[in-house]
């Protein structure tokens, strides 16, 4: 018999981030700058059983709707994540995050000698090389970075 009990309660209005790879919810919270001092309810499900992924993480944030830059950052950590916009307890919109072709000012270059890591007022710019696995290339020094090397600059 399958347990159909809700593990995390519904939210009235806000955003649900689903299909986060198991163990990555805390990184997503960090991207969204969510800490213990928040003004609205945040529910986190870590290592929740999933028919599609085996296990996943889920985040529900009441009264918060994400900006494009936040969605782009989530796509780097959780490229399979889906976003649900909830209004009055109903899903009004649902979509998957998409890794943009160009990442402007979102991540730091791993090359310490890159101009973006110096004293110059230059924003980092990366081109997406592949989406699965994630790989990007710096526009300035042409350093290629894989998923494990990517560090957010937010």
- pTM of the full structure: 0.84
Instruction: Give the residue-averaged pLDDT of 59-70.
Output: 94
Whether 6 is in a domain gets the answer no
Q: What is the pLDDT of residue 52?
A: 85
**Based on the domain organization, do 53 and 75 belong to the same domain?**
yes
**Based on the domain organization, do 81 and 146 belong to the same domain?**
no
Q: What is the pLDDT of residue 7?
A: 65
Question: Could you tell me whether strands 90-96 and 42-50 are parallel, antiparallel, or unpaired per DSSP bridges?
Answer: unpaired
Minimum mean pLDDT range among 6-15, 65-74, 93-102: 6-15
pLDDT tens digit sequence for 121-148: 899 999 999 988 889 999 999 999 998 8
Q: What is the pLDDT of residue 34?
A: 85
User: In angstroms, how far apart are the furthest CA atoms of the chain?
Assistant: 61
Half-sphere exposure of 25 (CA within 13 A, CB side): 21
Half-sphere exposure of 5 (CA within 13 A, CB side): 3
Instruction: Give the residue-averaged pLDDT of 17-33.
Output: 92
CATH of the domain at 126: 2.30.30.20
Q: How many domains does the chain have?
A: 2
Instruction: Supply the range of the domain harboring residue 107.
Output: 102-152
- Closest listed residue to residue 79, CA positions, set 115, 130, 45, 11: 130
pLDDT band at 51 (very low <50, low <70, confident <90, very high): confident
**Based on the domain organization, do 92 and 106 belong to the same domain?**
no
Instruction: Give the residue-averaged pLDDT of 18-46.
Output: 88
CATH of the domain at 53: 3.30.70.140
Asked if the model's pLDDT at residue 151 lies above 80, the reply is no
d(CA 117, CA 39): 34
């Amino acid at each position: 018999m399958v347990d159909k009990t809700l593990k995390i309660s519904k939210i009235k209005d806000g955003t649900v981030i689903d299909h986060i790879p198991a163990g990555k919810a805390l990184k997503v919270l960090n991207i969204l700058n969510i800490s213990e001092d928040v003004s609205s309810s945040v529910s986190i499900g870590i290592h929740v059983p999933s028919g599609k992924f085996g296990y996943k993480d889920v985040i529900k944030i009441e009264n918060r709707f994400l900006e494009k830059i936040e969605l782009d950052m989530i796509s780097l950590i959780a490229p399979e994540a889906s976003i649900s916009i909830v209004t009055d307890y109903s899903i009004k919109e649902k979509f998957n995050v998409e890794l943009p072709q160009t990442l402007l000012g979102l991540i730091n270059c791993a090359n310490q000698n890159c101009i973006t890591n110096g004293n110059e007022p230059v924003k980092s710019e990366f081109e997406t090389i592949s989406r699965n696995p994630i790989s990007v290339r710096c526009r300035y020094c042409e350093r290629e970075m894989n998923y494990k090397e990517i560090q957010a600059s937010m």
